[in-house]
Amino acid sequence: MEENKNQTLTDKIWNLFSSITSAVVIFALIALTSIIGTIIEQNAAPENNIKLIGKLFGDSIAPALYNAFDFLGFMDMYHSWWFVALLMLFASNLTVCSIDRLPRIWKLVKEPVKPLTDEQFKNLGKKELVLKGKPEKIKEAAGAAIKKTGLKSLETKEADGYQLYSEKGNYTRLGVYITHFSILLILIGAIIGIFFGFKASLNLPEGETYSVAFAQTRHLTPVEESEREKIIEVLQAVEGSALKAAQQLGMKEQSLKAAMKRYGIWPLGFSIKCNDFNTDFYSNSNMPKTFKSWLTIIENGAPVKIDGKEIQEIEVNAPLKYKGVTFYQSSYGFIPGGGENSKFRLRVTPNEGKTEDIESRLEGSFSIPGTNLTGKIENFSPAIGFDQSTSRPFTYADQMNNPAVLISFHENNKVKYRGWILKRYPETWKLPEGHTVEFVDFWGAQYTGLQVRNDPGVWVVYLGCIVMSIGLYIAFFMSHKKIWLRLIEEKNSTRIIVAMTANKNREAFERKIDKIITLMSKSIEGGK
């Protein structure tokens, strides 16, 4: 008690951080908050989490609780100041614990193996055997046997014989500190990613170019929304350069970066264009088999070649990486109204003629080469279905699950026939005269949904994982072993007393000792 009273403030802080109890408490808090982070969807639209909170606590208090949780940082928990503080506390605790215990472990590591006293031989686990022959002869056989098992023996002359001793793996006691260092590397990598990286999304329409990505934010006021749109417009014009945007807006670069973070705007530092997007579906199903994007990186107004190609194809599990930013194919969607730059792409083949690709817009007309027929695109559905009782068409989804166009065909300015042409069903392409009109694409009407990530700390995390594997292997599968053999001369024979220590996996070491004894016995018997 008196000892505690005499402790300085520094001593008390050191003892607190070197405490295993503190480590357990901090780790438990990190685990608990991480569980909360998996329940609450991070960076999600407010209505999603309000609905979730309503299910847990009631709809009446859900909005108020959402605002409270948002204020506490639970909606973007892994970037909150308190979560980063917990990580730093854990790192500090781990560092102090390691430093506090390292001198004692280092002493064990550096202390050379020494001959045992009689008392020490009595206290250690031991085996005994008697072999015929003088201690000198037995000593040579014992030394050779120890060497064959990968150990190096030392010897000491005693009054009644010899003592041989050896050790291996003294540095394996540092395996736990290698593991601690790896954890620190992983934490450092995570903190680097939190402060200097970002995770955002980008719904990029076909034919459009963007220089920014977007993260979920709280609800913005009309004034804030106006400022956000202005910042985005300027960033788009300067290929996502925060420095150039700040100059144009008359702001300091740090002030602009703070505003961008507040509004969920992440500049890329270059532009990315969606040249095309395509979805393949399983036969007679609305389940997409693959969806792919064809993208181009633009920098300083010119396309960038990657691996010798300007256009990069990406799909799920095949991302595009450029300057530390990774674009993952994650979703797709249909732009309501089709978009300003949208075009229908048709492939027309007369029954006696060459195939031609045609582009047209809604209410636009086209001709079938070599005939008097003209077609007019009257309507479009991204996902057409037909009522079983009335056969009337209806749209059942907003995505391009089953796109179709309604085309009326005219001859001499009179409607000859009208019908829906479905992109995925060739039987709808054939006209009565034998001509074929294939609906190829509604270009510009789709967007590709991209997950955009920049994590400069990921390589530090990977390094930490490699170091951790090494540390865990050393800590769990390697041990610090010591062996002593006392050779005592008796009448026409030598009594051998074996003692050993191992800080782990003692059973395996005992098997090695049995091997040493067997090799030694065979050597003596073979030398008779």
Stated pTM of the model: 0.67
**pLDDT value of position 1:** 45
**Are 495 and 128 spatial neighbours (Cβ–Cβ below 8 Å)?**
yes
CB burial readout 396-414, b (16+ within 10 A) else e: eeebbbbbbbbbbbbeeee
Higher pLDDT, 247 or 505: 247
Which tokens sit at 272?
Answer: 């990315």
Q: Which domains does the chain have, with CATH numbers?
A: 2-108 (no CATH), 123-169+479-526 (3.30.160.110), 191-338+448-462 (no CATH), 343-443 (no CATH)
**pLDDT value of position 328:** 93
Higher pLDDT, 282 or 224: 224
Helices (H), 40-80: 46-57, 62-72
Q: How many CA atoms lie within 13 A of 296 on its CB side?
A: 17
Distance CA 507, CA 487 (A): 24
Contacts of 295 (CB under 8 A, 6+ apart): 204, 272, 273, 274, 275, 311, 312, 313, 314, 320, 327, 448
Distance CA 343, CA 362 (A): 8
pLDDT of 527 higher than 70:
no
Residue 71, number of CB atoms within 10 A of its CB: 10
Give helix 62-72 / helix 46-57 axis angle, nearest 10°: 120
Please provide residue 135's backbone torsions phi and psi, each rounded to the nearest 5 degrees: -55, -35
Which tokens sit at 94?
Answer: 């781990």
* Digit-coded pLDDT (tens) for 11-36: 778 887 778 888 888 888 888 888 87
Average pLDDT, the chain: 86
Which tokens sit at 433?
Answer: 């005269």
pLDDT of 297 higher than 80:
yes
Compute the average pLDDT of residues 372-400: 88
> With 0-12 CB in 10 A as exposed, 13-18 as middle and 19+ as buried, what is 383?
middle
* Digit-coded pLDDT (tens) for 92-102: 888 888 888 88
Q: How do strand 493-502 and strand 288-299 relate by DSSP bridges?
A: unpaired
* Digit-coded pLDDT (tens) for 451-478: 999 888 889 999 999 999 999 998 888 8
**pLDDT value of position 275:** 92
Distance CA 252, CA 234 (A): 14
Compute the average pLDDT of residues 253-278: 89
Give helix 81-110 / helix 175-196 axis angle, nearest 10°: 160
Compute the average pLDDT of residues 300-327: 91
* Digit-coded pLDDT (tens) for 88-147: 888 888 888 888 888 888 888 888 888 888 888 888 867 888 888 888 888 888 888 888
